[in-house]
Amino acid sequence: MASATAPTTLSLLKTAASSTSTAARASLLPVSTSGLRTTSLRGLGFSAADPLFSSHVVSKIRSLKSNGKAPRAVVSMAKKSNITDDTRIRAAIPTIKYLISNGAKVILSSHLGRPKGKTSDDCIGPEVEKLVASLPDGAVLLLENVRFYKEEEKNEPEFAKKLASLADLYVNDAFGTAHRAHASTEGVTKFLKPSVAGFLLQKELDYLVGAVSTPKGHLLPLWVVLRSHPRLESLSRSWRSVISSFWVEAKAKGVSLLLPSDVIIADKFAPDANSKIVPASAIPDGWMGLDIGPESVKTFNEALGTTQTVIWNGPMGVFEFEKFAVGTEAIAKKLAELSGKGVTTIIGGGDSVAAVEKVGVADVMSHISTGGGASLELLEGKALPGVLALDEVVRVAV
């Protein structure tokens, strides 16, 4: 962040058709949740060049440099102390690299969970302003977890203003938090112009909005698997009611809805549980379904073979246990096969991403979403606060 006399915050620009943004809340660097870090990313060697975004950001940087200062960029991202999935980290690096390669001082705004207590380092205040002021061109500053402040999730204007005072412009590359109106994702845009979308955020919008509005051929919108667990057994009647209602609505709209015909059940929720295959409607008391069965795999794969666009959100079962990963791995491999034939395959974040990574087919998918809840809300047609807060592109007739 920058001092009050030289405010600087950077986010990539959102446009009606070509960009949208929220502070990047994906883990960009393997850092701890405490302490500020200043790190140069010049050696990462990424490139990204959207013409509209490029001209917008470069012109902003040049105008600031002409006044004797380098712009500082704020990107919001989620960090973890122990990284189990670096998908979001890798996905956000191109935006950061682009900014620093154009001479920006990049400030990363991060969050992790919902922490309790206090921290010695900070994301606002005099000490942070000093660090920002001493930041060299093309360097990166990682701020402390913004969620140590309760004002972050409450989106309090004064807190957002303090965050914004550190920067000149705002770039949001955190699609995973675009559905939340927090201070670092929505509030800061009221104090920083331009406020724009990063490359990752724009890619998410292009694929997810495009898949629904102009799908190629048939669209298989969503795979849903309700994982069974002893603590969820009391909810089974409610789930059956939901599925029944969903079935009626789908039928009325002429939408095919496929449910497992057979499942692999277990006598306990453990990797070494006893298992057997039974019809989906005949799970004995005391047992739970942890994967789809071979007939279901065959049915689903046949249905997938008729599609041109697939959005997959949700594994077929508890794929973390090898014994119950067969269904999930089979679907992942089928999607990889379809990708090679030109089918658009979109993996909808969270466990689905972990599944295709585990099978080793993530690289062949059309798009790996970092969204999770944001992806689902966008597909439902809901407005995302972090996207709406970004600047719209003003189109000029030539």
d(CA 142, CA 39): 8
3-class SS letters over 324-353: HCHHHHHHHHHHHHHHCCCCEEEECCCHHH
Residues 6 or more apart in contact with residue 73 via CB below 8 angstroms: 8, 9, 10, 11, 99, 104, 105, 106, 107, 167, 168, 169, 170, 171
* 76 annotated to bind ligand: no
Three-state secondary structure along 206-257? HHHHHHHHCCCCCEECCCCCCCCCHHHHHHHHHHHHHHHHHHHHHHHCCCCC
Q: Amino acid identity of 269?
A: F
Question: Is 352 annotated for ligand binding?
Answer: yes
Residues of the chain by 3-state class (helix, strand, coil), percent to 5: 40, 15, 45
Instruction: Please check whether residue 253 is in contact with residue 247, taking contact to mean a CB–CB distance below 8 angstroms.
Output: no
Cα gap 72→44, rounded to integer Å:
19
* 158 annotated ligand binder: no
Adjacency order of strands within the sheet including 37-40: 37-40, 139-142, 105-111, 72-78, 169-172, 195-197
Compute the distance between CA of residue 349 and CA of residue 334 in angstroms, rounded to an integer: 18
279 preceded by a cis bond (ω within 30 of 0): no
Tell whether residue 289 is among the known ligand binding residues: yes
Residue 349 marked in a binding site: yes
Quote the CA–CA distance of 351 and 224 in Å, as a whole number: 12
Terminal-residue alpha carbon distance, the chain: 38
Q: Is 204 annotated as a binding residue?
A: no
H helical segments located in the chain = 51-66, 87-101, 126-133, 150-154, 157-164, 199-213, 236-252, 294-304, 326-339, 351-359, 373-379, 385-388
Provide the 8-state DSSP code for 176: G
Positions at the binding site for ATP:
289, 320, 349-352
Positions at the binding site:
289, 320, 349-352
